[in-house]
Amino acid sequence: MVKHCIFLLLIFFTSSLLAQKKAPKNWQLLNPLTDKVYGIGLENAYLSLKDKKANTVIVAVIDSGTDIEHEDLKDIIWKNEGEIADNNIDDDKNGYIDDVNGWSFLGGKNSDINYESSELARIFHKLNKKFENADTSKLIDAELKEFIYYKKIKISFFNEQKTLELQLNNIQFFSSFLDKVKKQNNGLLSKEALKNFVPENGLDKKIKKRMKFLFLLGLKPEKLEEELKNGKENFENSLKYNQMNADSIREYIVGDDLSNLNNPYYGCNRVKGPDALHGTHVSGIIAAIRNNNIGINGIAANVKIMPIRAVPNGDERDKDIACAIKYAVDNGAKIINMSFGKYYSPDKKLVDDALNYALSKDVLLIHAAGNDSKNSDKELSFPNRELISDRIVPNWIEVGASSFSGGKNLIGSFSNFGKTKVDLFAPGVDIYSTIPDNKYVNESGTSMASPTVAGVAAVIRGYFPELKADEVKAVLMKTVVRYKKKVIIPGSGNRKVKMKELCVSGGIVNVNNAVLELMGLNKKLN
């Protein structure tokens, strides 16, 4: 699921974030030892690698879409050399016509999916159709078990809808407040207008206080209005699409037969799609062109980004994710970034088969842990490395989000965590990167932490190509910066534990440490 308004919601409803200072620009690249910021130590790593030559590494970005014409990305976008553009012929005979720069599993001949329902909603509507008017008094065995599951799903679905309605109402409160501020200031919104605003009631006073914090953190009034507008649109559409027959919409737009789970040949070559903000931001973190005096420096200088569109605003479908992984593997990707997730997976076996396929081809899979402040040891999200067969794929890295702050706020307050399920943390709060139309913004989420690790892994795979996927994971796990002080557990209020209680490695990814380890130069990593 793609969530653009995470920063806004966290600021409004999470008090711990209100105390944080403004992030240094491009802080994720800095070195904890010399810069006193918990970045990845990138420039130090490149100094150590200055006499080595890197191989090119293809990194697939399975996401919402990518602006392949962005000024800071266009020269590092993967090109399918076996395909001739726009001739409507499958020149390389891989089953995908004109896939010159990747593929979209969310588009048809003339249009593209933007919004989708949640997976929970899809499961509910399918079971509701079967059981709503059925005589359930005589059910036995498998059907009785399914009916009991349906009752649980029904409760969860309506709870989800209530939560979405509450979140929408909260956004509408803030939007109404800004309208009042503008009304008292001749239609203009500014810090000065907020300062001079005369509250009309107690709620106005509370919101005004929160707004002051937002502006102290550097959020511009026009950006706040944009965030509110996007948030309102996202929640309205989530509520709307959760009530609809999403399968029929999907089949109409894409032309894919959802009952045929074994057919991977559907979609289109429009990799940007209708909303490419998320995928473009992720791609920039990994590999925005370095040292070109434009925009930002990405992490890996030796990368080609392969855009694969499979993640809508809503929950991604298992079939699309399985097909996207297989497409990436078949077309040469050695790393796949997956900044998405959900809590139900009705066709998990399809995804499991794709994960096994990636393992067989030595492809490293990197996945965002999620933004719900949940303990992943207690509630799994999907996709994940735990297969139905009880095997665990070793070429998988699960990533939580860390912040630029030291001390108790080191872990992003939204980040999922897990002593056995999340492998490590990486910078994911206020990450400045590319968005469509040659623009750049800060975004927060494990969606930003995952590509940080993907970029680090690309540096390692480029300069040390002899390493297998699981060996790259092993060195990244071994060389994290371990934080020994206590940090706040996300979602706990102010309860603190050692970082080793929140992830397997107990630390934050550090490419400089990894490079020193591989070059035999490390004397003491932490």
Active site residue ranges: 256, 278, 447
Q: Is 209 exposed, middle or buried (0-12, 13-18, 19+ CB in 10 A)?
A: exposed
At 155, list the tokens.
């409760």
Per the CB < 8 A criterion, the answer to whether 41 and 32 are in contact is yes
For residue 85, give the DSSP letter.
Answer: T
Residue listed under structure tokens 């109402």: 169
Residue 270's alpha-carbon distances to 101, 153, 202, 381, in angstroms, are 9, 35, 49, 28
At 455, list the tokens.
């970029």
Per the CB < 8 A criterion, the answer to whether 416 and 498 are in contact is no
State the first-to-last Cα distance of the chain, in angstroms, to the nearest integer.
36
Task: Quote the CA–CA distance of 161 and 240 in Å, as a whole number.
Answer: 10
Task: Quote the CA–CA distance of 484 and 92 in Å, as a whole number.
Answer: 53
3-state secondary structure of 253: helix
For residue 35, give the DSSP letter.
Answer: H
Task: Quote the CA–CA distance of 407 and 405 in Å, as a whole number.
Answer: 7
Per the CB < 8 A criterion, the answer to whether 72 and 288 are in contact is yes
Task: Quote the CA–CA distance of 302 and 289 in Å, as a whole number.
Answer: 10
Residue 465's alpha-carbon distances to 28, 79, 182, 245, 454, in angstroms, are 25, 21, 58, 47, 15
At 374, list the tokens.
């949940």
